[in-house]
Structure 1
Amino acid sequence: MYSNMMKFTFIWSFIFALTIQTICSFEYKHHSNEELNQSLQDVHHKCPSITRLYELSEKSVNGWPLTVIEISTNPGEHELLKPEFKYVANMHGNEVLGRELLLRLADYLCNEYRNNNVDIQNLVNNTRIHLLPSLNPDGWELATANLDQNHGSDWLLGRSNLNGIDINRDFPDLDLIAFRHGDKDDFINTLIYHKMQPETRAIVVWLLSNPFVLSANLHGGALVANYPFDETPDGSMNTYTPSADDTTFLHLARTYATNHRRMSHSGTACDQDEDFGKQGGITNGAAWYSVAGGMQDFNYLATNTFEITLELGCDKYPPESQLSKEWEDNKKALLEFINQAHIGAKGLVRDENGMPIDNAIIRVQNITDGVNQIINHDISTTKNGEYWRLLTPGLYEIMAAKSGYLPEVKTVSIEPRNTTATQAKNVHFVLRNLFE
């Protein structure tokens, strides 16, 4: 009797363990568009309390949904002062590694949250994370169907969308307006009159509808973290073109490159003329080659979002046998980059009655060691009066201002982050109405 009971218990323990292993396992493969959406559904079913699936406002040319998985403690809701982060992959359909990494990342965050991984729980509890594994599912299908005869690091079939348009050249070119110091009306007119592909319009609507703080888009064909600006002001092919937040973007790019297992190492170049490892695995986009109408610069110039571009490897379509290794090479970098949504300062701008002030301007001056340099890139508050200002360690004067109110300036010391749970410094403002 005792022996039979032990045998029965062992069998059920084995079945239970096998079931858990099956549920938690992730298959390293190139997921078709159907399998991609099913994989996201599987993650949602495992972790319904911290995930939500939604589609962007438009589908691909061929009708595929552009599906996003959100990972947060309150899916579907923006939480006050919780920064919003996004990863976008596969905008070039033949550059597929990022697509698989984001599917694996969603699965990993779900599993580790359930397994009480403290670092992952802190990350998810304090950040609203959005993952878009494929912006160009049509291009992916074309690239995959012709893989045998086109395999290699330099082929182009499937790069563009089904209309033959490169999505990463299709965004309104706000760089030229910024370079000539255009005003807000110039930006708005460019947005209104620029004709875009459905995938591009979907991203623009997504960006303008959510208060994203930090982002990266995942590509392939090189091994480097690329930061703004992507376009040169004089039409030259490759001239270093810094943004006003060059110091912060250098930090963001280095964060990914140094946490990647190989990106910052010399000797890992795809082309001997482009050994980015010699410069720490990072590059200014325009110093590499000028790109007009790119998504990275549009994020920075049209919204409050800081975005960099991640080139994840020489082979745009790596074999399935390499996907597990690629995940291990990128895992730490993917996670630590999300944590950078918590650098700098954040806060609320309200009036004397405690009501939020939307579209207030947040302007920053760096006064570290007597520098006294205005960072010529203002950001604006949300409808809830929130702001997030990514900054590297130093001493700053931060001003909140809006027409009709008396501006307020505060001196703020930004300290280095010392743990993964460290939040941005809270700096709140109360503006007095000039007409009351």
Structure 2
Amino acid sequence: MNNMKFINVSLLFFLSLNVSSLFHPTSARGGLSTSNFSGSVDNHYVASARRLFEEKKLTMEQHLQRLEKLAEGYMSNADLEKAIKAFNRRCSSISRIYSIGKSVLGVPLWVIEISDKPGKDEPEPSFKFIGNVHGDEPVGRELLLHLANWLCDNYMKHPLATLIVDNIHLHILPSMNPDGYQLKRRGNANNVDLNRDFPDQFFHMNDDPGNRQPETIAIMSWLEKIHFTASATLHGGALVANYPWDGTTDEKKYYYACPDDKTFRFMASLYSNSHHNMSLSKEFPGGITNGAMWYPIYGGMQDWNYIHAGCFELTLEISDDKWPSASEIPVVWEFNKLSMLNLVASVIKTGIHGRVFSSDYGRPLQASISIKGINYTIKAGQAFADYHRLLTPGEKYEVIATMPGYKSKSTSIILGEEASTVDFILDPVVTFREDVLPRGCDCSFENRRLKLVEFFPGQQSEIFLLLVIILLFLCFLMKRRVILNYLRQKQMVGPKQSLVV
């Protein structure tokens, strides 16, 4: 009997903890997990437990009422869709909209693309913003509509807006989790945290494609179609720019750097220093943090982007309050506006950019680009063989271009504050095999000239040889012209250009 009372007291204590947790905010990237408890109890404790459940129910109702009140002034999912379509009609010359899939409840995941040539392939970098990953963090979806409208209103008027629209393909997904927003909770309609649903590098979780959420599948398919240079997700509950790695091999909390740690710190600092007060944080020095140093998470979207999609992603906590009053949104937008613009512009204003050609006829090559000393490789685009490699300014780098069937080439550059353009021309590997030629074949020039003379008697053989030489020279000029014509075009921002031949 004493053991039974101990169990019942434990049950009440556990339930009281669950009730009290409703009044404490969870951490921005994480969340609290709950356990189920089962057991037999006597009538006295059943009555006590029932009263506690009734109190919990009342508290939940009060909690939902509070969220409903806070949601006043925010766009509903239907309002958001109308706003996206209205934006596209108003700014059709520099935008298009498309859906990457649907949520569990069938809500389209609408994306706005902003560019001077929306929907067309160009040798330009692409950047994506994603908001509302967690349903109870809605500020991002509001700010992303503010960003789209600001770019539309200021194109050809403000230099930063013009730079972004003319040189970058910006893709904006205001809400990744419309179901969670509608339900006023963190997870999606299946109550799954979408920022824990991606394949993880350290642990065999989320490896089964059949168990992934439709929102996660939509993001992964999206990145198979579009090669994004960089991206950012907008969260709430803190004020800090978070960068990889998000997890550690042993689930312990400490600084765990990825190969491009310097570049990520540069990107995070760029956002923080452009913000109204993020860099003044007392909790996070400089307003930035390594994810694993803050607290490890697994199955996150940030690390997956970097590992599997070649995309440098930041997780931006843009508001201490997850769900501030709608009247505060204009202030939050003003605090983050310059940070968002500078982060997008950084993919064209810094780093190295270029294209890779073959020396035979100047055709583009989908080569791999690596940096000596950094264990990370990106691939040039398929259509134009363009690459965009983010790097920390003010350092010396050895850039290497490799392609199967071609000779690798490298060059050293000192990257300044502005972007540098480095184009490569790779030579095909030519191999000669003895068994291709018949045994005893005399391949000397004299013998071939004799046969030509026999076929073209007199001066005709000399004319034929001259024509061959002329044709070869013309082919050489044509392939060089293809490359040089590209180099004459001003494709990238920044005065520095080099060609590796």
Whether 1:92 and 2:99 are equivalent positions in the alignment is: no
The answer as to whether partners of 2:270 and 2:339 remain within 8 angstroms in 1 is yes
Of 207, 212, 219, the match for 1:196: 212
Alignment equivalent of 1:425, drawn from 417, 420, 423: 420
Using a 3 Å threshold, how does the CA distance of structure 1 residues 191 and 46 change in structure 2: closer, same or farther?
same
Alpha carbons 2:239, 2:318 under 8 Å: kept:
yes
**What secondary structure, in the 3-state scheme, does the structure 2 residue paired with 1:404 have?**
coil
1:349 matched to 2:356: yes
Structure 2 counterpart SS, 1:350: strand
What amino acid sits opposite 1:286 in the alignment? A
1:399 equivalent in alignment to 2:400 = yes
Q: Distance in 2 between matches of 1:262 and 1:429?
A: 42
Instruction: Pick one of 161, 164, 168 that aligns with 2:188.
Output: 161
Equivalent runs, 1:246-257 vs 2, <5 Å: 246-257=261-272
Residue pair 1:175, 1:297 contacting (<8 A) in 2 also: no
Structure 1 position 170 matched with structure 2 position 197: yes
CA change 1:410–1:191 in 2 (3 A) is farther
Give 2:337's aligned residue: 331
Q: Deviations over 1:198-250 (max 9, x none)?
A: 000000011121110010000011110000000112221x1111000000000
> Where does 1:53-64 land on structure 2 (aligned, <5 Å)?
53-56=97-100, 58-64=101-107
Amino acid at match of 1:344: G
Q: In 2, are the aligned partners of 1:169 and 1:292 still within 8 Å (CA)?
A: yes
Match of 1:211, SS?
coil
Q: Give unmatched runs, 5+ long, in structure 1.
A: 1-27, 144-157, 178-188, 268-274, 366-373, 418-423
Q: Is the CA contact (8 Å cut-off) linking 1:29 and 1:323 kept in structure 2? A: no
Q: What is the alpha-carbon distance in structure 2 between the residues aligned to residue 355 and residue 193 of structure 1?
A: 37
Query: Could you tell me which residue of structure 2 aligns to residue 380 of structure 1?
Result: 379
Aligned counterparts, 1:297-312, within 5 A: 297-312=303-318
Structure 1 equivalent of residue 287 of structure 2: 281
Structural mapping, 1:16-415, within 5 Å:
29-56=73-100, 58-80=101-123, 82-113=124-155, 116-143=157-184, 158-175=185-202, 193=209, 195-236=211-252, 238-267=253-282, 275-276=283-284, 279-342=285-348, 343-352=350-359, 353-358=361-366, 360-365=367-372, 374-384=373-383, 385-393=385-393, 394-415=395-416
% identity of equivalent residues: 43
* 1:192 Cα deviation after fit: 7.0
Q: Distance in 2 between matches of 1:262 and 1:59?
A: 36
Cα distance per residue 1:179-208 (max 9 Å; x no partner): xxxxxxxxxx98675731100000001112
Contact 1:233 1:241 in 2 (8 A): no
Query: Aligned equivalents of 2:122 and 2:413: distance in 1?
Result: 24
In structure 1, what residue type is equivalent to 2:387? Y
CA RMSD in angstroms comes to: 1.7
Distance 1:306 1:376, change over 3 A: same
Following superposition, the deviation at residue 434 of structure 1 comes to 0.9
SS at match of 1:235: coil
Q: Answer whether contact 2:279 2:287 (CA < 8 A) is retained.
A: yes
Secondary structure in 1 aligned to 2:278? coil
CA drift at 1:66: 0.3
Quote the Cα distance in structure 2 between the aligned partners of 1:402 and 1:119.
Answer: 36
| Equivalent pair of 2:228/2:311 in contact (CA under 8 Å) | yes
Distance in 1 between residues matched to 2:408 and 2:234, nearest whole Å: 39
- Check whether the contact 2:319–2:332 (CA below 8 A) recurs between aligned residues: no
Conservation of the 8 A alpha-carbon contact between 1:223 and 1:312: yes
Partner Cα separation in structure 2 for residue 266 and residue 94 of structure 1: 23
Distance in 2, matches of 1:173 and 1:380, equals 22
User: Offset of 1:119 from its aligned partner?
Assistant: 2.4
- Letter matched to residue 430 of structure 2: F
RCO comparison, higher one (Cα < 8 Å, 6+): 1
Alpha-carbon shift at residue 47 of structure 1 (Å): 1.1
Amino acid paired to 2:78: E
* Paired amino acid for 1:89: G
Structure 2: 5+ residue stretches without partners = 1-71, 432-501
Give the conservation status (yes or no) of the 8 Å contact 1:175–1:301: no
Name the CA distance, whole Å, in 1 between partners of 2:426 and 2:263. Answer: 28
Shift of 1:413: 1.7
Q: Secondary structure at the match of 2:401?
A: strand
CA–CA distance in 2 between the matches of 1:239 and 1:430?
Answer: 43
Cα pair 1:94 1:140 within 8 Å, conserved: yes
State the SS of the aligned residue for 2:220.
helix
- Provide the secondary structure at the position in 1 that maps to 2:155: helix
What is the TM-score of this pair, normalised by structure 2?
0.69
Which whole-Å deviations, capped at 9, do the CAs of 1:348-368 have from their partners, x for residues lacking one? 11211211222x221102xxx
In 2: Cα distance, 1:375 partner to 1:194 partner = 34
Work out the number of aligned pairs and report it. 356
1:124 Cα deviation from its structure 2 partner:
0.9
Letter in 2 for 1:413: I
C-alpha deviation, 1:106, in angstroms: 0.7
- Give the Cα separation in 2 of the matches to 1:123 and 1:383: 23
C-alpha deviations, 1:305-352, integer Å up to 9, x for none? 100100111211110111111111111111111111122111111211
SS in 1 for 2:277: coil
* 1:403 Cα deviation after fit: 2.0
Q: Secondary structure at the match of 2:256?
A: coil
State the SS of the aligned residue for 1:318.
Answer: coil
Give the 3-state SS of the residue equivalent to 1:49 in structure 2.
helix
For residues 176 and 209 of structure 2, the distance between their equivalents in structure 1, rounded to whole angstroms, comes to 23
- Deviation, 1:113, is 1.3
Query: What letter is aligned with 1:407?
Result: S
> Partner of 1:155 in structure 2?
none
Structure having the higher Rg: 2
C-alpha separation in 1, matches of 2:202 and 2:213: 19
Is the CA contact 2:163–2:345 (under 8 Å) kept in the aligned structure 1?
A: no
